[in-house]
Amino acid sequence: MFIETQVLPIHSCVEPITDLAERFFELNAEQCDDFRRVLQSHINRLNDSLYVFVEGPYVDRVYRDSYYHYFSTKLGSYPKHCLRLSFFSTKIDGGSFRGSVDKNSLQKHYLGFVVLRPTIPQVIGRSVLSPHALKNRNLNICVTDVPVTVNAIKLTATGFPHSSQDTETITCAETTVWALMEYFGHRYANYRPVLPSEIISVLRSQSYERQWPSKGLAVDQISFALRELGFATRIYSKQAHGSDFYELLSCYVESGIPIAVTIDNHDGIAHALLCIGREPINASQVPTTPPRVLGRSIRIVDNDRIARNFVFIDDNMPAYVKADLTLPAANYPNEDWQRCEIDYFIVPLYGKVYLEAFEAKRLVENFLVVGPYPLPEGYELFLRFYLTSSRSYKEYVATQAGMQSELQTLILGMALPKFIWVAELSTNELIEHSQANGVIILDATEANVLYYKPMVFAAYQNKLFTFAEENTNATRIQAINFELTTFSIYENNLKPFSDQPY
């Protein structure tokens, strides 16, 4: 069997690819129509200037796992091969991959891949597509690098993993778990990608019925699977957290953590998807965000309460759809789906992160309002709060040209845990220029919030604060006068993509 390849301009690629699928997947006329419709809906979102490198038959490890564990056991005949589309931002041909290959140029223009499965109509398989391929980008998201081989040349796809469910071996919940593990497995050495059969195996002890064909997973089963795969999961419910629910979700997204969310319309529709980022903050959004008024009339404009769209990976939709947190299914044509609301979200935390967002954020606010060195009465500030690794944060501090050297020396010289919570203090005017004038650092491995035990460093209002544990029941807080200048905010958790030409 020989691998067939074609290079097509994206604006005229749908019919030739459909013809290939008809032959490779042995589709009838109705199946061809469904294939064409789904493919067209995904192509429509991509830049009209792209070129598509098509190859088939292609062996996809995720589909092949489902095939051998499930589809091959049926009486009917199911194709075991896929097609793969690779996207480039410049014109290429077969010669681009042979002879004196300019690999750097290929990599520069390579925008990822989409696998097409023979599971009609859910044909979109394992995919990693760069947001640079989209017509409309303007988003800040979690991304990872995935090594691939295109026509025998090794390249790297950068984006967030995406796939549609095939409705039999993986539904929305299993696809959510798969995409999370695909992301973390390629980004961090502590984790590894998993196949559909492995997810089923992990959940065997939690299942009291047959697992295939899949009927989906409950929230606690999704959390259990992620815990068994190496995470210290935390489940948040809208019922339990009320008005803080969306704020907490936004805080974890700001921390660069992909979040599994479940949505429900309370009338029979339930679905799982991922929230992986947000739109950039527009300067006009900050002054229109109502502040929270705390004790002594201190007003906090919270970054996590700014109204904006968030970015979702939804297996019923193309990658990187944007919607408000209160209307996560607004992109669906069906009105019943549009009524869905987020009822739970599951945070896949690193195992040693013991201090969760709600407690950490309230500790900072309490210190600012009633602590031994509170803000002046009636003071207004902009608060940005997030979790990050101390290694990444120290690298940011070390390379900050605008941060005063004394502050850099103090932060870089501190012994910090692997993960920290960071509160950046700013004003409505400063944040429009991505500037802050204060910072508070918390130990994310300390869950005991009494006596400000998690706090390790603070600098604001022209004072530096250090925190030392005297004993289990007391923390010694020292403050010195320090003329603090402004500095750039930390923006390494989410990768920005703009609508500017790529």
For residue range 11-65, list pLDDT tens digits in order.
999 999 999 999 999 999 999 999 999 999 999 999 999 999 999 999 999 999 9
Can you tell me the distance from the alpha carbon of 226 to that of 314, in angstroms, rounded to the nearest whole number? 18
pLDDT digits (tens, 9 = 90+) for 309-360: 999 999 999 999 999 999 999 999 999 999 999 999 999 999 999 999 999 9
Q: Is the pLDDT of residue 207 over 90?
A: no
What integer pLDDT is reported at residue 143 of this predicted model? 97
What integer pLDDT is reported at residue 470 of this predicted model? 66
Q: Give the confidence band of 70 by pLDDT, cuts at 50, 70, 90.
A: confident
Helix (H, G, I), strand (E, B), or coil: what is residue 220?
helix
Summary mean pLDDT of the chain: 92
Look at phi and psi of residue 226 and say left if phi exceeds 0, alpha if psi is from -120 to 50, else beta: alpha
The full DSSP string for 57-116 is EE--HHHHHHHHHTGGGSSS-----EEEEEEESS---GGGGSSS--HHHHHHHEEEEEEE
CA 375 to chain centre: 34
Extents of the domains making up the chain: 1-164, 357-495
Calculate what percentage of the chain has a pLDDT beyond 90.
76
The full DSSP string for 414-471 is S---SEEEEEEEE-HHHHTTTEESEEEEEETT----GGGTTEEEEEETTEEEEEEEEE
pTM of the predicted protein model: 0.94
Can you tell me the distance from the alpha carbon of 15 to that of 56, in angstroms, rounded to the nearest whole number? 15
pLDDT digits (tens, 9 = 90+) for 392-408: 999 999 998 888 889 99
Can you tell me the distance from the alpha carbon of 224 to that of 206, in angstroms, rounded to the nearest whole number? 8
Residue with the bigger pLDDT between 52 and 209: it is 52
Q: Give the confidence band of 471 by pLDDT, cuts at 50, 70, 90.
A: low
Yes or no: say if 328 and 311 are a contact pair by the CB < 8 Å rule.
no
What integer pLDDT is reported at residue 435 of this predicted model? 94
- Of the candidates 322, 318, 21, the one whose C-alpha atom is nearest the C-alpha of residue 163 is 318
Q: Give the confidence band of 233 by pLDDT, cuts at 50, 70, 90.
A: very high
pLDDT digits (tens, 9 = 90+) for 414-465: 999 999 999 999 999 999 999 999 999 999 999 998 888 999 999 999 999 8
Calculate what percentage of the chain has a pLDDT beyond 70.
97
Q: At what angle do helices 14-25 and 29-43 cross, to 10 degrees?
A: 140
What integer pLDDT is reported at residue 215 of this predicted model? 73
Can you tell me the distance from the alpha carbon of 231 to that of 286, in angstroms, rounded to the nearest whole number? 34
Dihedrals phi, psi of 124, to nearest 5 degrees: -80, 115
CB count in 10 Å sphere of residue 268: 7
Q: Give the confidence band of 203 by pLDDT, cuts at 50, 70, 90.
A: confident
pLDDT digits (tens, 9 = 90+) for 111-155: 999 999 999 999 999 999 999 999 998 999 999 999 999 999 999
What integer pLDDT is reported at residue 330 of this predicted model? 95
The full DSSP string for 380-407 is EEEEEEEEEEHHHHHHHHHT-TTS-HHH
Half-sphere exposure of 390 toward its Cβ, with a 13 Å CA cutoff? 18
Q: Give the confidence band of 75 by pLDDT, cuts at 50, 70, 90.
A: confident
Secondary structure, 3-state, 41-57: HHHCCECCCCEEEEEEE
Can you tell me the distance from the alpha carbon of 344 to that of 235, in angstroms, rounded to the nearest whole number? 7
